[in-house]
Amino acid sequence: MVKFLYVIYVKMVVNKYRLKKDLEQGEICEKRFQDYFKEQKNIEFTKFKNKYSQLDFRYKDNISELKSRNYFSNDFEDTQVGNNKIIHALKKQNEGYDIDFYFLFKDGLFLWKFDKNVNLRIDYRYGKKWNYVPTNILTKVTDKINSII
């Protein structure tokens, strides 16, 4: 029983450490994203103040989500997005906003202009519903920034 509790404790510590590292990487990648658009495109994305916001940024009538990935864009056939983000994107699109999902991979920044008609693969993992965006429909924006820390 003691060994079992120890294993649970170690997993909790490891998961807490991974979550902290993921959040740190996310913050670094968000800054890279904002800096790139400000310097290269003269677009100033504003980060939503609520850290629990479903989507990350706004610029005029555009709302964008940035997903940072620790792999290359061609490593997998698709990339994961929480169903909550897709539902929120649909809601905001119905309110008249343009919705973009950006993916920062090791080989650059890619864009999916949200399209409710794209058939996304759905899966349930970790007690949550996930949507999978095919990587072959993503458009490369730049290789001047990437997710490598």
Q: How many CB atoms within 10 Å of residue 2?
A: 6
Within 13 Å and on the Cβ side, how many CA atoms surround 83? 10
- For each of the domains in the chain, give its residue range(s) and CATH number, in order of start: 2-142 (3.40.1350)
How confident is the prediction along the chain (149 residues), in pLDDT tens digits per residue? 555 544 455 455 556 656 677 778 889 999 999 999 999 999 999 999 887 889 999 999 999 999 999 999 999 999 999 999 999 999 999 999 999 999 999 999 999 999 999 999 999 998 899 999 999 999 999 999 999 98
Q: What does pTM read for this prediction? A: 0.87
Task: Give the sign of the dihedral formed by CA 65, CA 71, CA 73, CA 79.
Answer: negative
Backbone angles phi, psi at 148, to 5 degrees: -75, 125
Annotate 68-92 with b (16+ C-beta within 10 A) or e (fewer). bbeeebeeeebbebeeebbebbeeb
User: What is the torsional sign of CA 64, 83, 112, 76?
Assistant: positive
Given this model, what pLDDT does residue 23 score? 77
- Decide if 85 contacts 140 (C-beta within 8 A): no
